[in-house]
């Protein structure tokens, strides 16, 4: 149980770090634009990130981490369905935060397009990471299996 809590916290802090870095970069480049000035995300312009926005990002990161942890408990669920459900739940959570905390106006289409593009970029990077990790794990399992077969063959020959 303790390890699961540590895992949730570490996942949340990684997501939070990415949130803060991306928001800081966006703040520097578009923080003073007139259209952006009505967004609570950029209420300080390019001078920084508001404390309330930081805590909102931290809460969102913990919620995403909990969603991931809950879905990881379903070992028998197909990876495709688990991924679809994960993307759907995370998207709904992020959109809820955008609307509830007024991160940007709901009728500002460029902001929604930017959100969609950034979400897809992050999702694609995460997919490549998972594919790479899975491939490395499969290679390790294959190597261990070959060693096991070799050892089994050696033991059966010695009998």
Give pLDDT tens digits for 45-99.
Answer: 888 899 999 999 999 999 999 999 999 898 888 888 888 899 999 999 999 999 9
Q: Average pLDDT of 91-120?
A: 91
2 & 60 share domain: yes
Q: Domain residues for 127?
A: 109-159
Looking at the 3D structure of the chain, how many domains does it have? Answer: 2
User: Same domain for 4 and 71?
Assistant: yes
Model pTM score: 0.77
Q: What is the DSSP letter of 105?
A: -
- Is residue 156's pLDDT more than 80? no
Residues 98 and 117 in one domain: no
87, 151: one domain: no
Nearest by Cα to 40 from 64, 60, 23: 23
Looking at every residue in the chain, the average pLDDT score rounds to 87
| Stronger pLDDT, 59 or 157, i.e. the higher one | 59
Residue 142: is it exposed, middle or buried by C-beta count within 10 angstroms (0-12/13-18/19+)?
exposed
């Amino acid at each position: 149980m303790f390890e699961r809590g540590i895992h949730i916290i570490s996942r949340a802090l990684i997501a939070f770090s990415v949130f803060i870095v991306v928001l800081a970069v966006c703040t520097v480049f578009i923080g003073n634009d007139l259209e952006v000035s009505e967004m609570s995300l950029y209420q300080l312009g390019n001078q920084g990130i508001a404390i309330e926005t930081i805590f909102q990002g931290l809460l969102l990161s913990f919620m995403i981490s909990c969603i991931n942890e809950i879905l990881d408990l379903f070992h028998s669920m197909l990876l495709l369905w688990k991924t679809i459900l994960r993307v759907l739940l995370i998207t709904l959570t992020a959109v809820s935060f955008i609307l509830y905390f007024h991160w940007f106006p709901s009728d500002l289409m460029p902001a929604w397009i930017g959100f969609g593009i950034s979400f897809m970029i992050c999702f694609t990077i995460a997919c490549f990471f998972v594919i790479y990790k899975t491939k490395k794990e499969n290679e390790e399992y294959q190597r261990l299996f070959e060693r096991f077969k070799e050892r089994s063959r050696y033991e059966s020959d010695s009998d």
